[in-house]
Structure 1
Amino acid sequence: MSWTGRFLSFARDERVILVSIGLATFGLVSTMITALTMIRDDNEIPPAEPKTQYITQDTEDSLQLDTLEKLLDHPNFSIKEIAVKILCDRAANDPEVITYIWFGITRPDYEERMDSLRTLAVLTSQTGNEGLARLHDEKAYSALVRCMELCMQSTELPVVTDIHWDEYYLRDMGERFCLMFLTELINKYGATMLVKAKFVEKWLAKQAWGNTPEERRRNFKDYMDYRNNRITDIVNRIKHSRRGLRALEKAGLIDKESSRRRIRELPDLLMEVEEEIAAGEQSGEQQSRRTREHSAEEQRLRRQHREAMVLNDGTRPLGREDIIERDASPA
């Protein structure tokens, strides 16, 4: 049989015919799917991205109080948050509102004080550094200290002499609110105004440190050594100023020798900067105050401290770690 006959015989085989039909069908279907996919991709209309819309200051100012009240009840959380932010911004820039809050936290009624403290907490949390800056004045520090006095009178004094547990979280909620605000303030602005508001005399010294002077000093020292809470943070900042050390000494919480030694350890530059800030707040002028130099050794130490570099970018209060002093040299 010739090759032509063998080919015809192979082509007439049913198995070959079925395979050929199957391949042809597969090729046709694949071609149709590919063509339809290309047509679909070419005619696809992408969804338009939503444009970000910002609320201008004019739009905020035009919103009336009744409108903001309705927005506060809106089910959308973002809209409600924006309404709260607008109200807090308005309150932070309204001196009457701030004065009313200070009046509220100094009222004898406990619930009225707590409502004012919660309002103040919302105000500072929504406005950030701007709201915190509104608290940095003598009226604010005096009001917070007075609030702590009232909270102390309305509850029993906690035990501060047990070194095995921290009483801070069992303190009155109003006291903890005030301590939170004071911690944020002194971390940003220093403790000078807090000391001037008599925080040590009106609140810290009235804690149950003990009955005798020795017992009070010992228990206070143990508290500072074994605790790590906002009270110890505030006291540590107070110890960075000469005025604060003298207040602690006068209150009987540290002895005279420790106070004088700590004052000598503080660099003159740091003390002078703190005093200049305090003087600027009172008179609006920067005045340099220097302590008397009683001996040649003190003069040498003071000259050495003055020969220093201060590295601070202004984002935090000036601290001892920011000052690089010249190495000591023989007298």
Structure 2
Amino acid sequence: MALQSNDRVLWLCLGVTLFFAVRGIAAELHRVRELTSIKKGEKDDQVIGEGTEDVSRSSVSSRLKDLPTYTALVNCLCNFLPEHKEEENNGNNSGSPILPKTRPQGERKALNTLDIILRENIPAALEAGVISRWLSRYPFPCVTQDESKRADVVLLTKTMYTDDSVMSSIISTLSSHQEGINQLRKYGLMGSRMEEHTRSIYDDGGGDYDDDGEEDDSDSSSDIWMVGGEDTAGLLPWTGGRRRQEGTAEEQALRRRRREAMVFSEGGRPLGRDDIIQPVQNTEDEELDAELEQLADEVDQELREEQLEAERQEQPRRSWPMWPF
């Protein structure tokens, strides 16, 4: 009898435990279903929150485009200029003509910020003095070593973009705006013999720069821009036709020798006059050229005479009327 009573108590405890376990599991599953359910009210609130965040971002970005923001950023960059004086006095022996040997960490952050917001409002940045107050006084290594290289700053930032990508991007953005180009030329950072200036002089609205009746494409020119080599880099595409039609025979021979010149460069730096090797002209070559030119003139003269003779023979003979006497 004692064993049967103990079994009953055991089964009773197991039943009660199983009952509460089943109820607890069911309640937890119901709670999980409520937590994972998507309510329409929460979705509407989320959409409203995202819209408010977008509006706040646009308002912040619009406030960053105004003149005081650019003025404060230019003032910050100007405050870093005195920290480059020690570098100028000690001399800069770095390999890059546009990247200073040392750059303050604060200036790096300011340059990155300017690169981001500059394209949003270039006229405001120019009015704040990004060129007149800061860029014109920036100690580029090529300028500190040789003041005559100041006009090559824009060209160097294009040819050596990887040396200082942030500064090159800033100057490229400024040079994409007409007022920026004017200020870069005004403060001597861009040479006056750039494409925009020359095109404004020679372009008459037709786009035909060599008077051949066809519209020319400036991108098809194979000439290369060389720093300090304006007299040896060939002819610009929009002035080539006019230049070829002018000048004496000596000037044409000089241009021919320049076209025949060889250019050697090890790479890693812009081309200069020292990289150009002119062909050697001796007396025999000059005499041979003269004989060839004389022979060509004689051949042309003979061809013209033969052509005139053929035209005379083709003309019908004039018939004379017979008058009665």
How does the TM-score come out when normalised to structure 2?
Answer: 0.41
Larger radius of gyration: 2
How does the TM-score come out when normalised to structure 1?
Answer: 0.40
